[in-house]
Amino acid sequence: MSRIGKKPVEIPKGIDCKIEGTRLVLTKGKIKEELETHGRVKIEFADNKVTFGLLNEEKQSKAYWGTYRALLANIVEGLDKGFTKSLEFNGVGYRAQMKGRVLNMQLGYSHDINYDVPEGVEVTVEKNTIIVKGHNKQQVGQVAAEIREFRPPEPYKGKGIKYSDEVIIRKAGKAAGS
């Protein structure tokens, strides 16, 4: 039995929720998010709460039950508060700045790296921190991962781009000969 699937999802004021067949459509202002369930779960909406139910007792059905509830909870949280990922870059001469919708980074390569920021995501740079914000949790995480991939942190000097809450385990360098 799914413990997550049992919990109803509270829809806060300001977010409009509609059930269109097997889809849930949530809107807040101009932002519109959809969750397609492909008819794998029952959807009920009453008293600003969405609850999901099982169609049958199969193992796969129970897995979808908790998954769709978690996906809806992430959509509601994203529309209500938004998601943020923070990246720190460390290294001599490493810089980053925004030029319109393009993140320009100098990360020790012979050339600058220009990253086009996708729609729905906002990127800001403060000192040695890159902040990625948006209403879609998957998209925010994907953009942060793509930025980190340009120069992942290395274990000897700690240079590179890392998540702000990530811990880099440092290695000792060469041992001096005796």
The answer on pLDDT for 176 being more than 60 is: no
pLDDT at 29: 92
Q: How far apart are CA 64 and CA 69, in angstroms?
A: 8
pLDDT tens for residues 125-140? Answer: 999 999 999 999 999 9
119 token code pair? 């729609």
Q: Decide yes or no: CATH 2.30.30.90 for domain 83-163.
A: no
Average pLDDT score, the chain: 93
Count Cβ atoms within 10 A of the Cβ of residue 154 and give its class: 0-12 exposed, 13-18 middle, 19 or more buried. middle
Q: How far apart are CA 126 and CA 165, in angstroms?
A: 17
Angle between helices 137-149 and 59-80 (to 10 degrees): 80
pLDDT at 62: 86
Task: Using alpha carbons, list the distances in angstroms from residue 14 to 37, 51, 75, 85.
Answer: 23, 19, 14, 25
pLDDT tens for residues 21-70? Answer: 999 999 999 999 999 999 899 999 999 999 999 988 888 888 899 999 99
pLDDT at 1: 59
What is the location of CATH 3.90.930.12 in the chain?
A: 3-80, 83-163
CATH topology of domain 3-80: Outer Surface Protein A; domain 3 (3.90.930)
pLDDT tens for residues 83-97? Answer: 999 999 999 999 999
